[in-house]
Homo-oligomer: A and B are copies of this chain.
């Protein structure tokens, strides 16, 4: 048997929540569904659950693969399948792993494309703006229903890491460890600027119809495509792009036109086209806004150390040297704030060339670190073999 098998065929599940969720904005969602998946077994002490939070373009489908045709729009294989599975860094033979599609998503959880029970039509523009705090509260309710009082760990990369950090602040008794990869304590002006251009691309697409395109039989495909292209540039480092594409020409020489000349153009168009096929534009707006608004220190007058004061968890913080979206400096701000509170923090800056996307890739040092950290968590669980 291989040490690094996949969890194999998995099936998404859906949990309905009939009780209204009051949101940070003051609005409420009256009732909602969350799509989720689980891998591994919850132990008798209910002590081995790990929540994996997703970033922009991902879902509850963290690991394993969907059987046959019903592969789902985001692809058949889970987005963090290299991280989660039997024998993998987050070992599903030891941990019970939960993935959940966030509220406002487009992969099964209630979102803008869902039918609003009040009108019988898709929410569209009337879907409320949701925040990282809202997501975490919705995740906590899911944990209640799954019988998980306390997570052994909450883990995520990028926006997923922000949710993990929020867990430590909002539910200190319910999370033992936080693993925050490629995170930032809040977006910079440049981060917000990229989000804004992406949103403007979507919102000025004539097929957007103010967010209520569902009834028009169209989607703002051109805008979504541009949004994805812009995003993609920020996920890769300059060097990684240069290594992968350089100035390679598709036909060996300049075409003196505006069609594809350079391989990087072809790649970006392809990424944009693919994304626009399956992602919901309103969800893109919501998720980028949640990113913009994330700022735990906003509640404490800008003092990040004060923001983390309630946290009781232990932390593993990981950044990547070539990540210019959320640079190591941003992770160090988090580490400093945690240390100010005398929290137990392990921090690693991984030398990796791939930019922000590194958190999704199988870098040996990165994975070895996460593996070792989970082994330490496991060793501390009640009934674990020592």
Give min CB distance, A359 to chain B, whole Å: 19
Query: Within A170-212, which residues are at the interface with B (CB < 8 Å)?
Result: 186-190, 192-194, 196-197, 199-201, 203-206
> Is A137 an interface residue when CB atoms closer than 8 A count as contact?
no
Residues on B with C-beta less than 8 A from A324 are: 324
Alpha-carbon distance between A183 and B5 when the two chains are bound, in angstroms = 50
Instruction: Kindly identify which residue among B129, B186, B189, B269 contacts A241, using a CB–CB cutoff of 8 Å.
Output: B189
> Is A25 an interface residue when CB atoms closer than 8 A count as contact?
yes
Contacts A25-B256, A197-B230 given; does A262 touch B190 at CB 8 Å: no
Alpha-carbon distance between A201 and B285 when the two chains are bound, in angstroms = 18
Nearest residue in B to A129 (C-beta to C-beta)?
B256
B226 touches A258 (CB 8 A): no
Query: Within A13-70, which residues are at the interface with B (CB < 8 Å)?
Result: 24-27
A197 touches B268 (CB 8 A): yes
Residues on B with C-beta less than 8 A from A26 are: 256
Q: Which of A84-92, A289-297, A332-340 contacts B (4 or more CB under 8 A)?
A: A289-297
Alpha-carbon distance between A204 and B269 when the two chains are bound, in angstroms = 12
Residues on B with C-beta less than 8 A from A292 are: 261-262
Q: Oligomeric state, in number of copies?
A: 2
Instruction: Kindly identify which residue among B189, B222, B256 contacts A245, using a CB–CB cutoff of 8 Å.
Output: B189
Alpha-carbon distance between A114 and B330 when the two chains are bound, in angstroms = 50
Contacts A25-B256, A247-B186, A264-B193 given; does A225 touch B200 at CB 8 Å: yes
Nearest residue in B to A205 (C-beta to C-beta)?
B222
> Is A384 an interface residue when CB atoms closer than 8 A count as contact?
no
> Is A233 an interface residue when CB atoms closer than 8 A count as contact?
yes
Contacts A197-B233, A256-B129 given; does A204 touch B225 at CB 8 Å: yes
B203 touches A238 (CB 8 A): no
Residues on B with C-beta less than 8 A from A193 are: 229, 232-233, 241, 264-265, 268
> Is A242 an interface residue when CB atoms closer than 8 A count as contact?
yes
Residues of chain A whose beta carbon lies under 8 Å from any beta carbon of chain B: 24-27, 128-129, 186-190, 192-194, 196-197, 199-201, 203-206, 222, 225-226, 229-230, 232-233, 236, 238, 241-242, 244-247, 254, 256-258, 261-262, 264-265, 268-269, 272, 285, 289, 292-293, 295, 324
Query: Can you list 22 A-B contacts with CB-CB less than 8 angstroms, sorted by A residue number?
Result: A129-B258, A187-B247, A188-B238, A189-B247, A189-B262, A190-B233, A193-B268, A196-B264, A196-B265, A197-B226, A197-B230, A197-B233, A200-B225, A200-B226, A200-B268, A200-B269, A203-B258, A204-B225, A247-B295, A258-B285, A258-B289, A262-B292
